[in-house]
Structure 1
Amino acid sequence: MPTYAAPALSPAAELAINVLGGNAARLAILGFIVEHPGCLVSEIAKGTDLAIGTVKGHISALTATDVLDMDPAPTVPYADRRGRHTRYTVSADKLATHYRELGQLLGISE
């Protein structure tokens, strides 16, 4: 069975890679949300030509890394958000931090 190299990275660098990933779908989703703040999953799927299941998976990963802001927020009681669709906006400051971390990992920024 093959073994895979796993370089020792800082937790911040690993998070930056997970957020930005080497994944064209995730980057397309992030780009769409940046251009269309407050969009729905269905709008993202239509705008990126990705399957809705693919978009949902990436949205889940991006919200777990705290790069997307959700409206209504998950902390809003269910009774108050029932019937409302969740809208997503990129947290520009958090995304910029991940870009800087990745740049530092690659040695192209300080």
Structure 2
Amino acid sequence: MPWYAAPALPPEAERAINVLGANAARLAILSYIVENPGSLVSEIAEGTDLAIGTVKNHLAALVALDALETDPAPSVPYAERRGRHTRYSPRLDRLVADYRQLGRLLGVDGE
């Protein structure tokens, strides 16, 4: 059985990798939302040419990582949403921090 080395990274670096470095689909979704804050899942899927299921999976991960804000918030009970669809907006402060963290990890700290 192969052995894969897992470098010891600080939690901030692992978070930044999960937000920004996962794959092209996640970066396309983030890019679309940064350009179009307040987007619906269907708009994001159409704007990125990705399947709705793919978009939903990445959105769930990005919300859990606190990289996106939702309206209504996930804490609002489903019954109280009154048919409102969730809109996604970027947490620019978090994305910038993640971007800088990746730069530090790569040794290209731009500060």
Match of 1:4 in 2: 4
Query: Secondary structure of the equivalent of 1:50?
Result: coil
Any idea what the Cα deviations from partners look like across 1:1-40, whole Å, max 9, x if unmatched? Answer: 1111100000000000000124000000000001110000
For 1:16 and 1:82, locate their aligned partners in 2 and report how far apart those are by CA, in whole Å: 35
| Alpha-carbon shift at residue 75 of structure 1 (Å) | 2.1
For 1:63 and 1:16, locate their aligned partners in 2 and report how far apart those are by CA, in whole Å: 14
For 1:67 and 1:22, locate their aligned partners in 2 and report how far apart those are by CA, in whole Å: 13
Percent of matched pairs sharing the same residue:
71
Which letter maps to 1:98? D
Which deviates the most, 91-100 or 71-80?
A: 71-80
Match of 1:108 in 2: 108
Give TM-score scaled by structure 1 length: 0.95
Gaps of 5+ in 1: none
1:70-85 paired onto structure 2 within 5 Å: 70-85=70-85
For 2:56 and 2:4, locate their aligned partners in 1 and report how far apart those are by CA, in whole Å: 28
Give TM-score scaled by structure 2 length: 0.94
Matched, 1:39 2:39: yes
Which letter maps to 1:99? Y
RMSD: 1.0
For 1:32 and 1:26, locate their aligned partners in 2 and report how far apart those are by CA, in whole Å: 10
| Alpha-carbon shift at residue 90 of structure 1 (Å) | 0.4
For 1:22 and 1:38, locate their aligned partners in 2 and report how far apart those are by CA, in whole Å: 22
Query: Secondary structure of the equivalent of 2:70?
Result: strand
Give the 4+ runs in structure 1 shifted more than 6 A: none
| Alpha-carbon shift at residue 82 of structure 1 (Å) | 3.0
Query: Secondary structure of the equivalent of 2:75?
Result: coil
**Number of equivalenced pairs:** 110
Gaps of 5+ in 2: none
Query: Secondary structure of the equivalent of 1:43?
Result: helix
For 1:105 and 1:97, locate their aligned partners in 2 and report how far apart those are by CA, in whole Å: 12
